[in-house]
């Protein structure tokens, strides 16, 4: 499942490698933010950062997990910022209604909506390991924790997903299997 990619040597090779990873990045961004426009903004910010910094990344960092880690951090930073902004606004005015985006497509509308009860880290772990097939080592590098910690967090994430699909929450995912 893991695709190993030769390290790009030229800007043209890097562009091609990034282009190939674009669907994965957009999928991950939508999995995190659930709003199509915000997700693509996140992908754009990630790619821009990658274009500027890719020569400074640690030796041997594979491109794909490196991009996931940039996107993950950008998302967390954005959440922190908007959290501060929201608490500021709530002191000034009644809670603003989140504007419905014209493009809350795909994942948001799908059965996976119930999975928003997972934490950001749990959602990320499940996508990286189960869908994208990153190695546990790569996940440990992204989260900057020992591999044993990844294992125990992955257990908690899988248990949490289990509880959601197992009747504590509506069981939307079973439909998919039929």
Partner 1 sequence: MTTIPDEHDLHAYVDGRLEGEALATVEAWLARNPQRAGEIEAWRRDAQALRATFAGATPPPDAPWLDPARLRRELARRQRRWLGLAASVVVALGLGMFTGWSLHDRAATDALAREPMADAVQAHRMFALHAGLRADIDAAPGASLQSWLATSIDPAIRMPDLSAAGYTPSGGRLLATEQGPAALVVYRNAQGDAISFYVRPVGPSRAPLADGERHDPGLLTHYWSAAGYNHAMVGNLHGDGARIVRDLADRRV
Footprint of partner 1 (CB under 8 A): 11, 14-15, 18-19, 22-23, 26-27, 30, 36, 39-40, 43-44, 47-48, 51-52, 103, 105-107, 110-112, 126-127, 129-131, 133, 136, 147-148, 151-152, 154-155, 158, 161-162, 165-166, 173-174, 176-177
Query: Cβ of residue 84: shortest distance to partner 1, in angstroms?
Result: 26
Is the alpha carbon torsion for 137, 143, 149, 151 positive or negative? negative
8 Å CB contact between 140 and 148: no
**Closest distance between partner 1 and the C-beta of residue 171, in Å?**
10
Minimum CB distance to partner 1 smaller for 72 or for 129: 129
**Which residue lies nearer to partner 1 by CB, 90 or 149?**
149
* Least Cβ distance, residue 142 to partner 1 (angstroms): 16
Q: Write down the least CB distance from residue 70 to partner 1, Å.
A: 14
3-class DSSP state of 120: helix
Give the span between the Cα atoms of 115 and 78, in whole angstroms: 20
Minimum CB separation from partner 1 for residue 149, in Å?
A: 11
User: What whole-number distance in Å separates Cα of residue 75 and Cα of residue 42?
Assistant: 7
Comparison of 16 and 83: residue with beta carbon closer to partner 1: 16
Cβ neighbours of 168 (radius 10 Å): 11
Instruction: For residue 169, give both structure tokens.
Output: 């929450």
Supply 7's token pair.
């390290």
Sequence-distant (≥ 6) Cβ neighbours of residue 69 within 8 angstroms: 141, 142
Kindly tell me which of 48 and 90 has the beta carbon lying closer to partner 1: 48
């Amino acid at each position: 499942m893991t695709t190993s990619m030769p390290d790009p040597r030229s800007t043209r090779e890097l562009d091609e490698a990034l282009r190939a990873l674009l669907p994965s990045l957009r999928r991950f961004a939508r999995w995190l933010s659930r709003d199509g426009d915000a997700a693509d903004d996140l992908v754009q910010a990630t790619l821009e950062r990658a274009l500027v910094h890719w020569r400074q990344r640690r030796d041997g960092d594979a491109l794909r997990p490196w991009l996931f880690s940039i996107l993950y951090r950008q998302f967390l930073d954005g959440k922190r910022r908007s959290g501060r902004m929201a608490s500021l606004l709530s002191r000034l005015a009644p809670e603003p209604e989140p504007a419905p985006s014209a493009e809350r497509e795909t994942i948001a509308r799908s059965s996976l909506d119930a999975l928003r009860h997972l934490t950001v880290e749990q959602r990320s772990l499940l996508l990286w390991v189960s869908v994208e097939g990153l190695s546990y080592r790569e996940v440990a590098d992204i989260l900057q924790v020992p591999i044993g910690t990844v294992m125990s967090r992955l257990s908690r994430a899988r248990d949490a997903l289990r509880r959601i699909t197992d009747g504590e929450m509506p069981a939307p995912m079973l439909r998919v299997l039929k």
